[in-house]
Structure 1
Amino acid sequence: MAISPDWKSSNRTIQILKAAEKGKYGVVAAIAYNLEQVFGLIRAAEAARSPLIIQFFPWAITFWDGLIVRAAAGAASRASVPIAIHLDHAQDEAVIRQAADTLPFDSIMVDMSHYDKADNLAKTARLVRYCNERGIATEAEPGRIEGAEDGVVDTAGLEASKTTPEEVDEFIATGVDSLAPAFGNMHGEFGGTDQLDFKRSIRRQIGKRVTIALHGTNGYPPDLMRKCIAAGAAKININRLVLDDYYSHLQSQVGKVPHTTLIEQGVEKVVNQTKEWMDICMSSGKA
Structure 2
Amino acid sequence: MSWKDINTHNRILRDAEAGQYGVIAAIAYNVEQIFGLVKAAKNVRSPLIIQFFPWAIEVYDGLLVRTAADAAKTAGVPISIHLDHAQSEDIIKRAAELPFDSIMVDMSHYDKEINLKKTAELVEYCNQRHKATEAEPGRIEGGEDGVMDTAGLEACMTTPEEIEEFVATGVDSLAPAFGNVHGEYGPSGPRLDFGRFSQIRILADNRVRLVLHGTNGFAPDLMKRCVAAGVTKINVNRLVLDDYYEHLNANVGKMGHTQLIEEGIEKVTQLTMKWMEICGSSGKA
TM-score, length-scaled by structure 1: 0.97
Quote how far apart the aligned CAs of 1:178 are: 0.1
Which of 167, 175, 178 matches 2:170? 175
Shift in Å at residue 190 of structure 1? 2.9
Residues in 2 aligned to 1:148 and 1:106: alpha-carbon distance in whole angstroms: 24
Residues 105-160 of structure 1: CA deviation (Å, up to 9, x unaligned): 00000000000000000000000000000000000000000111113101122112
Secondary structure at the aligned position of 2:24 is classed as strand
> What whole-Å deviation, never above 9, does each CA across 1:12-37 have from its counterpart, x for those lacking one?
00000000000000000000000000
CA drift of 1:103 comes to 0.4
Structure 2 distance, partners of 1:194, 1:251, is 27
Gaps in structure 2 of 5+ consecutive residues: none
> Aligned residue for 1:160?
155
Structure 2 match to 1:21: 17
Distance (Å, rounded) in 2 between the aligned partners of 1:30 and 1:61: 16
The answer on whether the counterparts of 2:140 and 2:181 sit within 8 Å (CA) in structure 1 is yes
Q: Could you tell me which amino acid in structure 1 is paired with residue 45 of structure 2?
A: R
The correspondence for 1:202, drawn from 179, 200, 214, is 200
Unaligned segments of structure 1, at least 5 residues: none
Asked if structure 1 preserves the Cα contact closer than 8 Å seen for 2:190 and 2:218, the reply is no
Question: What is residue 35 of structure 1 aligned with on the other side?
Answer: 31
- Asked if residue 126 in structure 1 is aligned to residue 121 in structure 2, the reply is yes
How far off its partner does 1:193 sit?
Answer: 5.9
For 1:142, the equivalent position in structure 2 comes to 137
Q: Does 1:71 align with 2:67?
A: yes
Q: In 1, distance between residues paired with 2:185 and 2:20? A: 24
1:194 and 1:128 map into 2 onto residues whose CA distance is 31
Paired residue for 1:106?
101
- Secondary structure, aligned partner of 2:195: coil
- Read off the aligned partner of 1:56 and give its amino acid letter: F
* TM-score, length-scaled by structure 2: 0.97
Structure 1 vs Structure 2 CA RMSD: 1.0
